[in-house]
Amino acid sequence: AQSVTQLDSQVPVFEEAPVELRCNYSSSVSVYLFWYVQYPNQGLQLLLKYLSGSTLVESINGFEAEFNKSQTSFHLRKPSVHISDTAEYFCAVSERAAGNKLTFGGGTRVLVKP
């Protein structure tokens, strides 16, 4: 069975400052890794994913995440946040070749202050 830990439940950050959201996972098999974002009263939107290949993955809106196999981490970063980045962010894993079950971390609420 796999598990996901997001080390920070809330992260306040000033506009234009950098932010890092930490995610560690535990699994006995190979996994796919994802970051999702949720705005109030909305579903989840995929931010970025790691399937294979380059360990650094980027999204179109400036976020990036790096897969570190030895540390079983998949931290999310953005060099300069905007007010519109205020949301809750979820790290998730799914086991390769084991269907479409996602295991989520507890979420990190990002509050961007002007």
Partner 1 sequence: KAGVTQTPRYLIKTRGQQVTLSCSPISGHRSVSWYQQTPGQGLQFLFEYFSETQRNKGNFPGRFSGRQFSNSRSEMNVSTLELGDSALYLCASVSGVENTEAFFGQGTRLTVV
Nearer to partner 1, 49 or 77 (CB): 49
User: Cβ of residue 106: shortest distance to partner 1, in angstroms?
Assistant: 5
Distance CA(46)–CA(44), nearest Å, equals 7
Q: How many residues does the chain have?
A: 114
What residues make contact with partner 1 under the rule CB under 8 A?
32, 34, 36, 41-46, 49, 51, 90, 94, 96-107
User: Cβ of residue 70: shortest distance to partner 1, in angstroms?
Assistant: 24
Nearer to partner 1, 15 or 103 (CB): 103
8 A C-beta contact, residue 93 and residue 23: no
User: Cβ of residue 17: shortest distance to partner 1, in angstroms?
Assistant: 27
Burial of 30 (C-beta count, 10 Å sphere; 0-12/13-18/19+): exposed
